[in-house]
């Protein structure tokens, strides 16, 4: 199923080197179909994307949160291929447990669902996708819990006011580290890192190329805005330290209309705060409502920016975090030789909301898309060469855009500013013990 484009704005491009559609990178014999009622929301088209230089946007802002699956957060969305109530999964002893509505926004009394690559392989279970409780202590059903739109009103407003990609997956059947590496470099050379990414100690990756190198070589502005434990500190080369800016810098640039052409933005990725329950990145055990506060702050800054009319905003999550999803991760093209997960298969689905004036309210079922689809869009827009096999063949996220749209910013609901509340000392002790 294709996406709508404004052909009127690009008449004559067929003879001027217009790009063809990127071939589908992945497929799955067990792929779930979207609800029939939602298919009508998309317009089928075989139209090719125009030349990137003719695209009606010149600013891409990508915000990547932490560790939640599509069903867990957006399975309630009307018209989306989501499932919440009515599923059941076996625990490590074979007892079945039903998916359930979560009413606790921190879940300090549970354990962070396992999401190391070996545990994710058990959750995938050869395509059965039924192992989410087999990697959790018996009796702890946190991984098959879910939130509704009422619970997360900011996310709900964005999902119902902009474009949701319900066939968007994380890049790797594994944890944060390799998925965030794929989001920048379309590859990874490490799977796990037990340290704290503070720039003072070891840096886990020797990868020498990222999208920022491609941007710099083409004289296209690009910056990374971050708080605690920035992704730039994963690279041993330290070459991306120089383009790392603060959150305050991001909000100031958005207000002034001076954001770079490409801006990657992360919340605080504070591993200590995640463990104690005070994080704002949606990683357990942080209060999900504090994540809502952060997302609202970012979106409102963009909505009020002089650059709004030229922005594509992507809100997504680095990986599924061990939470359930019913869609079988599809195959993809990759040549990563690193032992571990199957890099020729995408990870589980994660939420992806594409915002901005070119992203009207609808659910898009095409794809599959993944983190490298954001790279593909950036490479197409500024005529940059791909970095690896993965981003070369990843579906271009620009296929979700409607170039005829003039979507106004969504008015987000006003919600309280939620304070940081630590888990109890006993709970924190259990968290530390479980992660050791």
Distance, in Å, from the CA atom of 412 to the CA atom of 134, rounded to the nearest integer, reads 38
Residue 97: pLDDT band (50, 70, 90) is: very high
- Average pLDDT rounded to a whole number, residues 378-383: 98
The domains found in the chain, sorted by start residue, are 55-435 (3.40.720.10)
Summarize pLDDT for 283-333 with one digit per residue, the tens: 999 999 999 999 999 999 999 999 999 999 999 999 999 999 999 999 999
Distance, in Å, from the CA atom of 321 to the CA atom of 74, rounded to the nearest integer, reads 15
pLDDT at 436: 67
Expressed in angstroms, the distance from the first to the final Cα of the chain is 45
Q: Rounded mean pLDDT of the chain?
A: 90
- Contact of 63 with 314, CB cutoff 8 Å: yes
**Has residue 8 got a pLDDT over 50?**
no
Angle between helices 176-185 and 371-381 (to 10 degrees): 10
pLDDT at 433: 82
pLDDT at 120: 98
pLDDT at 41: 37
pLDDT at 199: 87
Partners of 362 in the β-ladder = 163
Backbone dihedral region of 233: left (phi > 0), alpha (psi from -120 to 50 degrees) or beta?
A: alpha
Q: Under DSSP, is residue 393 helix (H, G, I), strand (E, B) or coil?
A: helix
| Helix, strand, coil percentages for the chain (3-state, nearest 5) | 30, 10, 55
User: Could you write out the DSSP letters of every residue in 97-163?
Assistant: EE-EE---SS-TTS-PPP-SHHHHHHHHGGGT---TBTTS-TT--GGGEE--TTTSHHHHHHHHHSE
DSSP E strand boundaries for 287-420: 311-317, 352-355, 362-364
Q: Under DSSP, is residue 182 helix (H, G, I), strand (E, B) or coil?
A: helix
Summarize pLDDT for 27-41 with one digit per residue, the tens: 333 334 333 333 223
Residue 47: pLDDT band (50, 70, 90) is: low
pTM: 0.90
pLDDT at 180: 98
pLDDT at 269: 94
Helices (H) and strands (E) in the chain, counts: 12, 12
Summarize pLDDT for 397-406 with one digit per residue, the tens: 999 999 998 9
Summarize pLDDT for 159-209 with one digit per residue, the tens: 999 999 999 999 999 999 999 999 999 999 999 998 888 888 899 999 999
Q: Under DSSP, is residue 189 helix (H, G, I), strand (E, B) or coil?
A: coil
Summarize pLDDT for 50-84 with one digit per residue, the tens: 999 999 999 999 999 999 999 999 999 999 999 99
- Omega within 30 of 0 (cis) for the link into 285: yes
**Has residue 426 got a pLDDT over 60?**
yes
Provide the percentage of residues in the chain whose pLDDT is more than 70: 89
pLDDT at 117: 97
- Contact of 149 with 77, CB cutoff 8 Å: yes
- Contact of 70 with 367, CB cutoff 8 Å: no
């Amino acid at each position: 199923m294709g996406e709508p484009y404004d052909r009127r704005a690009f008449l004559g491009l067929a003879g001027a080197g217009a790009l063809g559609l990127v071939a589908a990178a992945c497929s799955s014999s067990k792929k779930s179909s979207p609800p029939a009622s939602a298919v009508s929301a998309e317009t089928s088209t075989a139209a090719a994307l125009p030349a990137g230089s003719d695209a009606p946007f010149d600013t891409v802002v990508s915000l990547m949160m932490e560790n939640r699956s599509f069903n867990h957060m957006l399975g309630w969305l009307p018209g989306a291929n989501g499932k919440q109530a009515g599923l059941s999964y076996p625990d490590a002893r074979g007892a079945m447990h039903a998916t359930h509505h979560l009413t606790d926004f921190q879940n300090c009394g549970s354990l962070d669902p396992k999401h190391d690559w070996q545990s994710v392989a058990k959750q995938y279970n050869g395509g059965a996708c039924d192992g989410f409780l087999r990697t959790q202590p018996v009796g702890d059903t946190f991984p098959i819990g879910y939130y509704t739109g009422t619970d997360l009103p900011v996310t709900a407003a964005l999902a119902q006011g902009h474009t949701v990609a319900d066939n968007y997956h994380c890049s790797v059947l594994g944890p944060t580290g390799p998925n965030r590496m794929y989001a920048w470099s379309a590859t990874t050379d490490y799977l796990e890192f037990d340290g704290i990414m503070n720039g003072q100690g070891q840096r886990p990756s020797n990868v020498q190329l990222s999208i920022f190198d491609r941007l710099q070589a083409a004289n296209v502005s690009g910056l990374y805005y971050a708080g605690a434990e920035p992704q730039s500190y994963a690279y041993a080369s330290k070459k991306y330290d120089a383009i790392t800016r603060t959150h305050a810098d991001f909000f100031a640039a958005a207000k002034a209309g001076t954001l770079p052409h490409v801006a990657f933005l992360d919340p605080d990725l504070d591993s200590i705060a995640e463990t104690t329950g005070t994080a704002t990145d949606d990683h357990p055990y942080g209060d999900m409502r504090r994540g809502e506060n952060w997302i609202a702050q970012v979106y409102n800054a963009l909505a009020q920016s002089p650059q709004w009319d030229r922005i594509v905003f992507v809100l997504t999550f680095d990986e599924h975090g061990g939470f359930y999803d019913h869609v079988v991760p599809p195959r993809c093209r990759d040549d990563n030789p690193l032992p571990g997960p199957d890099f020729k298969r995408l990870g589980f689905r994660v939420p992806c909301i594409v915002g901005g004036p070119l992203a009207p309210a609808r659910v898009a079922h095409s794809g599959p898309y993944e983190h490298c689809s954001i790279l593909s869009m950036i490479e197409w827009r500024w005529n940059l060469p791909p970095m690896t096999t993965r981003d070369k063949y990843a579906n271009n996220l620009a296929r979700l855009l409607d170039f005829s749209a003039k979507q106004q910013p969504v008015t987000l609901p006003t919600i309280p500013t939620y304070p940081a509340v630590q888990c109890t000392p006993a709970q924190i002790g259990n968290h530390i013990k479980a992660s050791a």
